[in-house]
Amino acid sequence: MGTGRTPRTIFITGASSGIGEALASLYAEPGRTLGLLARREAALHAVAVRCRARGAEVEVYPVDVADAHAVHAAASAFLSRVGEVDLVIANAGISLRDDETGGDDRVPREVMAINFLGAVQTLAPFIPTMEARGAGSLVAVSSVAGFRGLPNAGAYSASKAALNAWMESLRLRLDGRVHVMTVCPGFVTTPMTAANPFPMPWLLSADEAARRIARGVRRRTVVIVFPRRMRWLMLLVSAAPPWLYDRAVRWVRSRRPEVFHRSTAAPSKTGDRDD
């Protein structure tokens, strides 16, 4: 496992809150230029002010990652500004429960548009220049939810599973010429997880998650799962046959019904997104 050079130009989506905000703060220092993208303009500018106070140069892009044209325009503008980009982190995400939806496909469409296509649209514009240079890191923040389907979170699990597979394919295609890393966190304290109506084991702070991601970038790790206990648990869950996994979910449901609480409430537009 090699060690990458220190990134000087960094593009981060979902930078107005949660892990994205923590990453922006972590990387903000003199000599670095950050491109920060998020849909909430006021919150994004507040993060940019704090990063500039730490000595970084900052470009802000108030864009929704679901808007492919706007994301490509922001990426092109940042590339024109800095010339070469060392690190891109596709972090923006959404979590909407898809129980009680019946035949309504709105939730899966919205979740896939942000969690999967939003990440692809973020990374894709930077691939040609990085590949031509033979340098740089492309990072996607996925989730341990991508390893198995979760009750009432089919769209979320599917979006993260798709992202995991796409990143693996990209890593194999680039074959070491560009560092490609998939990040699969467990529970992290963010506005998105604040809406969870159940206990979250091994909960990490957003700052700690950012430090672990940055360490993975330095070490050129290809897949990072944290915290460690969650990593071992997900290895077991991934290897479990369907009948055993189903039985385990039923056991949890019988003892922790709040984990699978069904709600018909309209999804929030603040607490369910980390961007």
Helical (H) or strand (E) element with 139: strand 137-141
Of the residues 27, 61, 156, 245, which is catalytic? 156
Q: Which amino acid is at 131?
A: E
- Let me know the angle formed at the C-alpha of 203 by 197 and 205, rounded to the nearest 5 degrees: 115
Show the DSSP H helices in the chain as ranges: 18-27, 41-53, 68-82, 106-111, 117-123, 127-133, 154-174, 206-219, 228-239, 242-255
Structure tokens at 262: 């069904």
Residue type, 101: T
Please give the backbone phi and psi of residue 62, each rounded to the nearest 5 degrees, phi first: -75, 85
The yes-or-no answer on residue 245 being catalytic is: no
**Residue positions annotated with a catalytic role:** 156
